[in-house]
Amino acid sequence: MALLDKIQDKTAKIGVIGLGYVGLPLAVEKAKAGYEVLGFDIQQEKVDKVNKGINYIGDVVTTELEDLVKNKKLSATSDYNRISECDTIALCVPTPLDKFKQPDLSFVINSTKEVTKRMKKDTLVVLESTTYPGTTEEVVLPILEERGFKVGQDFYLAFSPERVDPGNLIYKTKNTPKVVGGVTEKCSLHAKELYQRVLNAEVFVVSSPKEAEMSKILENSFRIVNIAFINEMAIVAKKMGINIWQVIDAAATKPFGFMPFYPGPGVGGHCIPIDPFYLTYKAREYDYHTRLIELAGEINDYMPEYVVERMMDVLNEDKKCMNGAKILMLGIAYKGDIDDMRESPALKVLEHLENKKADVKIHDPYVHTFTLKDKIYNTVPLTEEDLKEADIVVITTGHKKVDYDFVLKNAKLVFDTKNITKGLRNNYPNKVILL
- The secondary structure of 316-332 as a DSSP string is HHTT--STT-EEEEE--
Is 235 within a domain?
no
- 321 counts as catalytic: no
Both 244 and 200 in one domain: the answer is no
Catalytic residue among 86, 92, 187, 271: 271
Both 186 and 254 in one domain: the answer is no
Q: How far apart are CA 86 and CA 119, in angstroms?
A: 8
Residue 395 φ then ψ, to 5°: -90, 110
Per-residue model confidence as pLDDT tens for the chain (435 residues): 899 999 999 999 999 999 999 999 999 999 999 999 999 999 999 999 999 999 999 889 999 999 999 999 999 999 999 999 999 999 999 999 888 888 999 999 999 999 999 999 999 999 999 999 999 999 999 999 999 999 999 999 999 999 988 888 899 999 999 999 999 999 999 999 999 999 999 999 999 999 999 999 999 999 999 999 999 999 999 999 999 999 999 999 999 999 999 999 999 998 888 889 999 999 999 999 999 999 999 999 999 999 999 999 999 998 999 999 999 999 999 999 999 999 999 999 999 999 999 999 999 999 999 999 999 999 999 999 999 999 999 999 999 999 999 999 999 999 999 999 999 999 999 999 999
Is 219 within a domain?
no
- Out of 191, 209, 227, a domain closes at 209
Residue 312 φ then ψ, to 5°: -65, -40
Is 373 within a domain?
yes
The alpha carbon of residue 319 and the mean position of all alpha carbons in its chain are separated, in whole angstroms, by: 40
Both 162 and 272 in one domain: the answer is no
Is 232 within a domain?
no
User: 258 by DSSP, 3-state: which?
Assistant: coil
Give residue 79's domain range. 3-209
The CA–CA distances, whole Å, from 301 to 114, 274, 327, 345, 404 equal 36, 12, 22, 8, 27
The CA–CA distances, whole Å, from 287 to 31, 104, 276, 281, 290 equal 45, 21, 17, 10, 10
How would DSSP label each residue in 394-429?
A: EE-S--TTS-HHHHHHH-S-EEESS-TTTTTGGGST
Both 53 and 174 in one domain: the answer is yes
Longest Cα–Cα distance of the chain, Å, equals 78
CATH classification of the domain holding 269: 3.40.50.720
Query: The pTM is what?
Result: 0.93
What count of residues does the chain have? 435
The CA–CA distances, whole Å, from 81 to 19, 76, 118, 157, 193 equal 17, 13, 7, 20, 26
User: 30 by DSSP, 3-state: which?
Assistant: helix
Is 424 within a domain?
yes
Domain count, the chain: 2
